[in-house]
Chains A and B, each alone.
Chain A
Amino acid sequence: DIVLTQSPGTLSLSPGEGATLSCRASQGVTSNYLAWYQQKPGRAPRLLMYGVSRRVTGTPDRFSGSGSGTDFTLTISRLEPEDFGVYYCQHYSSSTGLTFGGGTKVEI
């Protein structure tokens, strides 16, 4: 199985600061199948990025994704108050199935 490890567990930042969220895979993964979600309390997750760096319609351009192989990063360039929540990375492989990372909580 592919395990996705997200770090840090919690980020405490102020509006205007930048945030760097890491997602590390236990083995090399296909970039096309790497996605990021944002989840707020009591709400369903919301897809932000797919294919590592492709923003979904409605995702602000302060969000960017990068990485390949086993190391992936979601960067929020200038935090806005609405960016608080838990962020999950996710990967699908036909051989190992679909997995989510454990999440990074962003506190504003």
Chain B
Amino acid sequence: QVQLQESGPGLVKPTETLTLSCGVSGYSVSSGYYWGWIRQPPGKGLQWIGSIYHSGNSYSNPSLKSRVTMSVDTSKNQFSLRLTAVTAADTAVYYCARHPQLRYFDFWGQGALVPVSS
């Protein structure tokens, strides 16, 4: 069974960089699928942040692209997200998920709430 687990700081200050990692078990991140990040502000809907292939090829939401960097660490079987210059509007539950052929997200992490506050 494929399992994903987000890890990162519990709180980020405005203007700083949010960094999250997603550990994957039950499947190798280098086995051919994209891996994605999705966020959900409290009480609101879902927003795709971006997705990355093990080769490093990636796609991002145009509205966030200038602030998003993603990477894959095949040795640790995990992938990561960096979001720079955060504001309160970036407060959300951040999910990582497997993204086969960029079509849909079939396995999700449980989500990590990241508040942005001073």
- CB pair A50 B103 closer than 8 Å: yes
Give the size category of A's interface with B: 20 to 34
Give the size category of B's interface with A: 20 to 34
- CB pair A102 B103 closer than 8 Å: no
Does residue B85 face the partner (Cβ distance < 8 Å to A)?
Answer: no
Could you tell me the dominant secondary structure of chain B's interface residues?
Answer: loop
- Could you tell me the distance in whole angstroms from the C-beta of A45 to the nearest C-beta in chain B? 6
- CB pair A100 B110 closer than 8 Å: no
- CB pair A98 B61 closer than 8 Å: yes
* A17–B97 CA distance with the chains assembled, in angstroms: 33
Binding site for A on B (CB under 8 A): 45-48, 51, 59-62, 95, 97, 102-106, 108-111
Q: List 15 A-B contacts (CB under 8 A).
A: A37-B105, A44-B95, A44-B97, A44-B110, A44-B111, A45-B108, A47-B104, A47-B105, A56-B106, A88-B46, A92-B103, A100-B46, A100-B47, A100-B48, A103-B45
